[in-house]
C-alpha cells in the first residue's frame, strides 16, 4: 500500500538512480561535511571535558570503620622513620 506521494517520489528518483554507476557508491560532499562536523563536535566535547576534569578537586573520604586504623598505621610509620 504505497501512498501517492511515495509513488510519485519513486517515479522521479528511479530515473536518477539509473544514471548512476551501480558499482560505485560514494558518500559525496555531504557525507564528508557531516563526518567533519561530527568529528569537530567530538573534539570540542573532549576539550571541554578535559577542562572540566582538571577543575575537579576530589578527595575520597575514609570509610567509617577503617579511619582510626589507617590513622594509627600512618602514625606508627612516621614514628619508625623518626626513630
| pTM summary value | 0.44
Predicted pLDDT of residue 30: 94
Location of C-alpha cell 559525496: 28
* Domain containing residue 40: 28-55
Residue 49 lies in a domain: yes
Task: Tell me if 63 sits within 8 A of 55, measured CB to CB.
Answer: no
pLDDT in tens, 61-79: 888 877 555 455 555 555 5
Predicted pLDDT of residue 60: 85
Please count the structural domains in the chain. 1
Residue 66 lies in a domain: no
Residue 1 lies in a domain: no
Residue 45 lies in a domain: yes
pLDDT in tens, 3-62: 667 666 666 656 655 666 677 888 899 999 999 999 999 999 999 999 999 999 888 888
Q: Report long-range pairs for 61-70 (Cβ below 8 Å, ≥24 apart).
A: none
| Set of cell numbers at residue 48 | 571541554
Residue 46 lies in a domain: yes
Amino acid at each position: 500500500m504505497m501512498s501517492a506521494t511515495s509513488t510519485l517520489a519513486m517515479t522521479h528518483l528511479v530515473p536518477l538512480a539509473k544514471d548512476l554507476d551501480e558499482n560505485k557508491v560514494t558518500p559525496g560532499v555531504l557525507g564528508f561535511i557531516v563526518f567533519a562536523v561530527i568529528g569537530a563536535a567530538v573534539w570540542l566535547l573532549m576539550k571541554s571535558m578535559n577542562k572540566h576534569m582538571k577543575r575537579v578537586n576530589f578527595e575520597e573520604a575514609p570509610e567509617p570503620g577503617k579511619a582510626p586504623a589507617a590513622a594509627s598505621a600512618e602514625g606508627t610509620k612516621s614514628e619508625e622513620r623518626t626513630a
